[in-house]
Structure 1
C-alpha cells in the first residue's frame, strides 16, 4: 500500500534538505509554490510541512514563514569526550584558535580546584573552537605546570586530551561539571560572535586522572543556538 501523498512530499522535501538543496536558515517556498511544485493541494502540502516541523527539520516563525531549522549539536553530558572527538564523530574537522597561552599565578578558586600550593603556577589557555569557520565554544583551561611542564602553544592547537593520554601517558577518569546559563561578557560575546544580550551556556568543570589527581580546571562557553545538552535518566 502506497504511503499517503503528504508523507511522500515530506520525504521528498527531507531528501532535498539533506542533499543541501535547501540550506539551514533558508525560508522554504510558500504553500502555493509547493502545491504547484508537487502537484498537490495546499492542504496536503500543509500536512507535509507540519510533519517536518514535528520532526524538527523545519520551524515556523510567527509572522515570517517556515524555515529550514539549523540543527544543534547534541552533547551528552554523561559522556567524557573532547570537543575534537565529538566533532570528528559527526564527520566534522574542528579548528582550535589559541587566543591566550600564558604562565600565571592562578586565582584562589582555580587554586582550590587544582589543589595547588601557594607558589605553584598554571598554564592558562584560552581557545576558540571552530567548525567550518564558525566559533562554537570558547574554552578557558588551567593546567598545572608541575603536571605538564612541556605544554606548548603548538600542542594546544591540537587535541588536549590526545596530548594528555597519548604523549603524557596518563589515563583520564572523570570530569565533574556544572552547567550554568549566563549572559556573555563583552570578550566572550565577541569570541562567539553573539550579542551580549543572548544567553549562552557555561560549563565549569574539573577533571581527574585514574589516581584521583585533579589535572585541569576549565570554563567552557557554548553558543546556545548551536548546542543542546542531553542526559538519559533511567528508572530503577
Structure 2
C-alpha cells in the first residue's frame, strides 16, 4: 500500500530533483510560487512552506522582489569530517585489506521501511507507470557490504547504501582499492551529517563477517550524510566489541 507524501514534500523533492539533474544550476531562478502552485495543484501557502524549508536548509535563496534562486554553494569540499578506517589503520602501521562481500543495485520494491524513510522513497505499486524514475525495475539505491581487515583480523563490517541517481557510478568502483567514503567525498559535496553509536548483539551475518560468535557484543556506528538537503548515503559500521573503541579529544 502506497503511503501518501505531503504536498509540500512532493514539491521539495521535485525542486531537489531539478537541482541534482542540472536543470536548475546554482544561481539560477526557479519557478515562481504561483507557477509551482498551478503545477502541483496546491495553494501558494503549501508552496511557500516547501520553499521556506529549502531556504533554511541552504538549498535555495529567497530574494525579496526578485524571486527564489538555487543557492551558490560556499564550499569546495566536505563540511563533514568522514573518518576513513583504511587511513586510520595504515597510520597505526597495521596491514590493511578490504574484502567486498557483496554489491548490488536495489529497486524500491526491495527496500525496508527504514531505508525508505532515510532516502524519502515511496513504496511501489502494481499500477503501470512508464516514467523512468517510477519503474519497478529502476535502481534507486546501491548497496555494498565490505569487511575491513587489520593484520588478518576483521575489524569492521560496513553496510552502505547510496542514492543511485546522485552517484550513478558508485557501484562500478573496485572497493578493494577505492575507499567508499573517499569516493563519495570526491564526487559530491557532503555538507552535513548525523550519527549514533549503539551496543548491539551481532546478528548471524555480522557475526560471520567479524568472525565472532552470534549475539556477541558489537559497537554499531550508524551515519547518514547529506548534500543539498537530501541523504546521499546511509551506512552501518559494525565493530567487534573487544577489538575496537571510539576516542577523540575535547
Query: Shorter-chain TM-score: which interval?
Result: 0.5 to 0.7
Matched, 1:173 2:191: yes
Write the distance in 1 (CA, Å) between the matches of 2:172 and 2:185: 18
Indicate the RMSD between aligned Cα atoms, in angstroms: 2.2
Which protein is bigger by CA-based radius of gyration?
1
Residues 89 and 172 of structure 1, relative CA distance in 2, 3 Å threshold: farther
Shift of 1:228: 1.1
The 8 Å contact of residues 155 and 163 in structure 1, kept in 2 or not, is answered as no
Q: What TM-score, normalized by structure 1, do the two folds share?
A: 0.58
Matched, 1:184 2:186: no
Write the distance in 1 (CA, Å) between the matches of 2:211 and 2:99: 14
Write the distance in 2 (CA, Å) between the matches of 1:91 and 1:153: 29
Q: What TM-score, normalized by structure 2, do the two folds share?
A: 0.55
SS of match in other structure, 1:113: helix
Runs of 5+ consecutive residues of structure 1 not aligned to the other structure? 1-77
**CA deviations over 1:71-115 (Å, ceiling 9, x no partner):** xxxxxxx95312123223323352211111111132221121122
Runs of 5+ consecutive residues of structure 2 not aligned to the other structure? 1-79, 124-133
Match of 2:92 among 90, 93, 96: 90
The 8 Å contact of residues 84 and 93 in structure 1, kept in 2 or not, is answered as no
Residues 86 and 114 of structure 1, relative CA distance in 2, 3 Å threshold: farther
**CA deviations over 1:42-69 (Å, ceiling 9, x no partner):** xxxxxxxxxxxxxxxxxxxxxxxxxxxx
Write the distance in 1 (CA, Å) between the matches of 2:243 and 2:91: 16
The 8 Å contact of residues 101 and 123 in structure 1, kept in 2 or not, is answered as yes
Kindly report which structure 2 residues correspond to 1:196-215, keeping only aligned pairs within 5 A, or say none: 196-209=214-227, 211-215=228-232
SS of match in other structure, 1:110: helix
Number of residue pairs aligned between Structure 1 and Structure 2: 153
Match of 2:114 among 103, 109, 113: 109
